[in-house]
Chain A
Amino acid sequence: MTFQHYRQEVLALTMRWVRRLSREKFSMLFTLVQPMLFWLIFFGSLFQHAANIQVLQAPNYMSFLAGGVVVMTVLNNGLAGGVDLLFDKENGFLERMMSTPIHRSSVILSRYLFVMAITGMQILVILSIAFIFGVRLETGLPGIAVILVIGMLFGVGLTAISMALAFSVKSHGDFFSMLGFLSLPMIFLSSALVPLSAMPGWMQVVALVNPMTWVIDAVRPLIITGWDAAIPRVGMAFVILAIFDAVCLYGGAKAFRRAIG
């Protein structure tokens, strides 16, 4: 196993994901547009006047929500990251790939490269749309870079969860019901839509153990407050994400080894 071989495998596998996406133009459009349309534009406009700016501590609801939508996009992409491998497992394509002399990890790495690239692009699109609706990033372009890094770090753990599920479940029905069970509570029981201070006490407690809250609380000040408020939050998010990723990658690797041998 040489590096050239590894690079060739990963490239060929990543190319497959890109080709698939380009064949599913409709699905690509919806993947890209859905978070902005549903959450940022509809939800943002809906609550623009209902939300209390004092409680939000933001110029308006849309700018408050932007950080939440960025992280929700990372969440959804990450949790869906294993779906294609699930189908590959079910229709025998995975086994075909595993019967070739590839390093077992190249399938996983190719999936990561693809999911991360898509997520990164979506984050940029969401921030651009928010900009059109008047949301100005307090930390500017360097802030965008930090948001992307935080998004990627969160995505690593989430995609690992998704792939672990894909390799462990008996049927894809199980997979999608577990995904549904995970994703909405993770959104509602976090600071994505309302600040913690506006939640009932028990919800605050749950939201505090949700890594999503910590990620959003780092992204949001980068958008609405500025570096002084953001830096300690970003530092905290890095610590939380290091733990989160370590746990998820460990579990994911175990599930992968059990399924692939």
Chain B
Amino acid sequence: MMDPAVVINVARLGKTFGPVTAVEDLSFTVRAGEIFGLLGPNGAGKSTTLRMLITVLPPSAGTATVLGHDVVREADTVRSLIGYVPQERAVDRFLTGREHLELLGGLYHLSRTETNARIDELLKLVNLEEHADRVAKTYSGGMKRKLDIACGLLPNPRIVFLDEPTLGLDVQSRLKIWDYIRQLRENGITIVMTTNYLEEADQLCDRLAIIDGGTIRVIGSPLELKTGLGGDRLSVTIKEHETDTLPRLREGVMALPLVRDVRLKSGGLDILVESPEKSLPAVIEVAQRLDCSLDGIEYHRPRLDDVFVAHTGHGLRGGTPDTTEEE
């Protein structure tokens, strides 16, 4: 039986478009009330994965259940329980904000009174009350995105899927959208989102799956992932003519209580430490005691970038041009 805290269960999911494999052998779970992120470069297969979960794209292999319902066999039930905020500004330029929401009220089979009550509530949430009766072609990018989010929330879903929620937005709008997303989590809504912004993944997501070339490389909370790389690191270099003191220094440093591991590198040491604040003076002290003249010490705290590079072998911006996402 499924763990009640698990709201999405993905098992060996795959999708091919003709000869092209978009995603392969994906398995992960999403827990109730968390913000779960799919992080990866363009074309990694994030959107394809999301679209299988929202039932608009049938998987080629594997299964996925949303709130216990299979996305293929019980697609209609899944659709009535989720909300979706697409990547494109999927607004109709000729309709007003309110008309968008009214249309969706009809598509989710809400009564007129129910729809109107939801509309008032959502317009207030995303601060679009004043603009509700203007046609969407007069909206700014940020306003369109807000309307998109209101549309995704109209059915009062238990899970909301957001595809690149802040793509192409200015900084202010982005922060505003982050606020809404956090607010949703506070209201007990589970969020699944894709992003290719490291900062967004780091700041917003409770757990992340790093996806690249159609497969999941690693899953965990941003902190876990960063700690997984070894946590904080001191990088010590020795003056050039004194490199013969290195083995001595290595042994001395290794004996320090806050040091987890020490690796030799050319001309110095990489020291993985628990607390850089306390270990830094201790390392210097050891060096002085052992008569090693240091050339420099660098302190390095891993960022999500490093996690990404460590698991995919390349930076996020570089991407993998040979993988394709459906048009």
Contact = CB atoms under 8 A, between A and B. Distances in A.
Nearest to A99: B84
B40 interface: no
Interface residues of A, number: 27
A233 to B, nearest CB: 41
B106 A99 contact: no
Interface stretch (B18-26, B54-62, B284-292, B317-325): B54-62
Nearest to B106: A12
A249 to B, nearest CB: 23
Contacts, number: 79
Contacts of B95: 16, 19-20, 23
Contact of A12 (B51, B54, B107): B107
Contacts of A113: none
Contacts of A97: 107
A261 B79 CA distance: 14
B189 interface: no
Interface string B77-105: 10110101011111110110001001111
B99 A9 contact: no
Interface in A1-56: 1, 5, 8-9, 11-13, 15-16, 19-20, 23-24
Residue of B94, B104, B151 most packed against chain A (CB within 10 A): B94
Nearest to A2: B109
Contacts of B105: 12
Contacts of B86: 92, 95-96
Interface in B287-316: none
Contacts of A8: 106, 109
B327 interface: yes
A170 B103 CA distance: 27
B106 A11 contact: yes
B90 A101 contact: no
Interface residues of B, number: 34
Contacts of A231: none
B327 A170 contact: yes
A6 B303 CA distance: 51
Interface in A93-112: 93, 95-102
Given A15-B103, A101-B109, A261 B57 contact: yes
A91 B56 contact: no
B186 interface: no
A32 to B, nearest CB: 18
B106 A13 contact: yes
Contacts of B58: 261
A13 B92 CA distance: 12
A11 B115 CA distance: 15
A101 B56 contact: no
A59 to B, nearest CB: 44
Contacts of A102: 107
7 contacts: A23-B135, A91-B90, A96-B84, A99-B55, A99-B82, A100-B108, A101-B79
